Structure 1
Amino acid sequence: MDLGQRLLQERQTKFSHGLYHHTQVLPAYQNTRIDGNHLSLAQVSALFETRAIFSDDRHPVYVDDVFEVSNHFKLFDYLLDTFNQPLSNTTFKAWHQILKRGTCQADDWRYNVGGFKRFPNRIGPIVFVSPEQAPAQLATLLSAWENDPDFSLQGLATLHAEFENIHPFSDGNGIIGRLLVIKEALRFDQSPLSIQPTHQRRYIQGLRRFTTDPKYLIALFKSEQAVYQKQISFFYPSGLD
């Protein structure tokens, strides 16, 4: 049994605190934290297990933070149900719709939730592909991937870096791009990976340097993949079969 099927089985049987639970909670915390979510790991875990959340201290709990993490759980389930399916522009628009449902952005036409960006976006000095060009460039990237997928770490890192360079959405590109790596790793029966918030600076530098020095991001992917592989061994010491 491959990893994706094992995760589906654990979900279906409501297997408590197993690998599926781990693969929901930790990436939801890490993935959203890198993009500015304020919830702690304990809060994310409580939200997944009990659908309730309490403040860890006197700091407020933001409604959008709760929606984003809760939507991440739903998006991962959607990803898990469809991990064997090919990628397309429609795939990512569906992901964006799920991720942003119920947030303040969902009611703001400027964010075009469930659709591609309407306005140019940038992070510091980095300017991404224009709104006019983004859909076509994403379609070209995905077509090339589907015709000749390279599911090595280098291939997954390249796919991720090129997706992030396009930045097709108004917001949430990082979360969706990192889930893309998980989805395709499962599709090709590879160990997925999740970037730890403590490695955020390395991750951002890896993306910025990827064109000239791809080894930097690939090395980070390799170390993060090893972390997940240890969890597989912990839950399934005799293997997944």
Structure 2
Amino acid sequence: MVQMLNNREYMLDLCVRMAHHSTAIEGNTLTQDETASIILDDYIPRAIKDREFYEVRNYKLLLPHLIEKLQQKALIDAELIKFFHSFIMKDLDERAGKFKTLENAIIGAHFETAKPYLVPTLIKDLCDNLYYRLEHCKDDDEKIKVIFKTHIDFEKIHPFSDGNGRTGRLLMVYSCLEQNITPIVIPKQDKDFYIFCLRQNKIDEEMMNFIKKIQLKEQERQNKFQKSN
């Protein structure tokens, strides 16, 4: 992990792809090239909606803090989650960095999201359980299952008024880097299967193959930046 964090080119590349794919899953229409222009060059390539600009720009603002937290070996807890959310939703929501105070729902879900007053306790339990299970994993495959199942549970809690998907996917990348595992960046073109996996609320062989395929491509990308460095 340290080697990847110190590879500035790779981390910038990861930032661009996280921003592009994660916001595209939520409906952002910017291309990856346009996202790269904003993050890498501070250049807005065409007339775009303010919201779409802020959505991808916020990943650039977050990146140095993400790296710093990893270098400090900061554990995922309620405060870190709210800290990340405050960047993800900067200039997009006045409630950025704050847990929800009103009930919300996930379109098409067969379950209810957590009541606002339960969120702090449920998030604490989620984080405690994440590290307990990670400590008892025998290999990286087990860690992948724990990380993705935690992501599913996070989305079921839906602790924020907005930005839950982006924050949850960011936490998944953070967990992977923290555990020295190849990051999982969900491609926008696989949105339908990814959403199906979340709704299914279980981790089967098909889902594991899906994640391993993503990681294989990510590893190939890492290797290219290592060689060029």
Question: What TM-score do you get using the length of structure 1 for normalisation?
Answer: 0.84
**RMSD between superposed Cα atoms in Å:** 1.9
Counterpart in the other structure of 2:81: 92
Name the counterpart of 2:220: 230
Amino acid at match of 1:221: I
2:48 matched to 1:61? Answer: yes
Q: Which AA in structure 2 matches 1:62?
A: K
Q: Which residue of 2 aligns with 1:120?
A: 103
CA contact under 8 A between 2:184 and 2:214: conserved in structure 1? yes
| Aligned AA (1:235) | F
Deviations 1:109-147 (A, max 9, x none): xxx221101111112232311212122111111112223
| 1:139-171 Cα distance to aligned partner (Å, 9 max, x none) | 111112223424621111111111111111111
Q: CA deviation at 1:33?
A: 0.8
Cα distance in 2 for partners of 1:161, 1:54 equals: 35
Match of 1:184 in 2: 175
- Which residue does 1:70 correspond to in 2? 57
In structure 1, give the amino acid aligned to 2:127: L
Contact 1:153 1:222 (C-alpha < 8 Å) held by counterparts: no
Which has the larger helix fraction? 2
Is the 2:89–2:96 Cα contact (8 Å) retained in structure 1? yes
In structure 2, the residue corresponding to 1:76 is in which secondary structure? Answer: helix
Counterpart-to-counterpart distance in 1, 2:227 and 2:194 = 30
In structure 2, how many angstroms separate the alpha carbons of the residues matched to 1:45 and 1:90?
29
Listed as ranges, the gaps of 5+ residues in structure 1 are 12-17, 107-111
Task: List runs of 5+ in structure 2 lacking aligned partners.
Answer: none
Read off the aligned partner of 2:170 and give its amino acid letter. Answer: L
Deviation at 1:76, TM superposition (A): 3.0
201, 214, 218: which one pairs with 1:210? 201
Contact 1:25 1:45 in 2 (8 A): yes
For residues 220-240 of structure 1, give each alpha carbon's deviation from its aligned partner in whole angstroms, at most 9, with x where no partner exists: 2221111101101222259x9
Cα distance in 2 between the residues matched to 1:167 and 1:215: 26
Q: Compared with structure 1, are the counterparts of its residues 221 and 235 closer, same or farther at alpha carbon in structure 2 (3 Å cutoff)?
A: same
Provide the C-alpha distance between the structure 2 equivalents of 1:166 and 1:215, rounded to a whole number of angstroms.
Answer: 25
SS at 1:226's partner residue?
helix
The equivalent position to 2:127 in structure 1, one of 135, 139, 142, is: 142
* Mapped pair 1:195 → 2:219: no
> Can you list the C-alpha shifts for 1:188-217, whole angstroms capped at 9, x where unaligned?
111102011100000000111123x54443
Query: Runs in 1 of length 4+ with deviation above 6 angstroms?
Result: none
What is the TM-score with the length of structure 2 in the denominator?
Answer: 0.88
Work out the CA distance in 2 between the residues paired with 1:52 and 1:226.
31
Equivalent residue in structure 1 for 2:68, among 50, 59, 81: 81
SS in 2 for 1:25: helix
